[in-house]
Amino acid sequence: RIPMFRPLIQSWKRLPTPVAAHSMRSTSNGGNCSLKLANKVAVVTGSTNGIGFSIARRLAQDGAHVVISSRKQQNVDRAVATLKKEGLGVSGTVCHVGKAEDRERLVATALEHCGGVDFLVCVAGVNPLVGGTLKSSEQIWDKILGVNVKAPALLLSRLLPHMENRGQGSVVLVSSVAAYVPVPRLGVYNVSKTALLGLTKTLAVELAPKSIRVNCIVPGYINTDFSQSHKHTKPNSHSMYPPLLFPYRVGQPEDCAGLVAFLCSPEASYITGESIAVAGWSPHL
């Protein structure tokens, strides 16, 4: 064994095993206790529409209590009401992840309603400028990197002690295929999504000793309000992406939700540091 990997190997040995997870499910009785995320708590940012909302719904359907958040109160209220009508366990609060006071409120809300946190899913992101990288102002750089890259790390730093108290946890970051194949005219946004791949790997190494896994999903073109607002950047030929599934249908938010639910579940207990494309093609081909 290479000496530099020995601390990691020792840390990974402490990660929960699938055997314990299967045993837990087989002995659960009735109600939500039979669901794979029963008695778990998930915080999902940017979760009042699109990919974030679908993720919140799926985690709640799998038994977790989900704390929903976004920048506008009316959007939070609507999302919470919708999911409660479906009989799902959710609560919510306003949170602009780029603001420290809002992140603190999100943490406080999760602890007040649930007493702890098991999962963090960071969906919230911005792209206030369509244009070239070198034509972007310092203000644009600060806003995009602040919300898309810095905010997930800072939010996790506040939630980490509470996740540690639960004995294990899972973090899922949301990047974009723009990290692999930069989209013209989305310069700084491309950079921010590439940075999330590195953040995923770094946090996975740092948090393995704490039995907290960190993975990343990498959506392709998904049918959301965000993608529609940038529809002029939608790939329209095979010149950017290999001709696999992508030309035959557009991705839906639900395509991402199932993967996130899996990454939070006991079935993914031996998966960390991965960035998985949900794009109808693979950047690894």
Please give the positions annotated as active site: 189
Provide CB contacts within 8 A for 178, sequence distance 6+: 186, 189, 190, 193, 194
d(CA 17, CA 39): 18
Structure tokens at 262: 């899996």
Burial 65-101 (b: 16+ CB within 10 A, else e): bbbbbbbeeebbebbbeebeeeebbbbbbbbbbbeee
d(CA 190, CA 240): 14
d(CA 58, CA 61): 5
- 67 SS3 class: strand
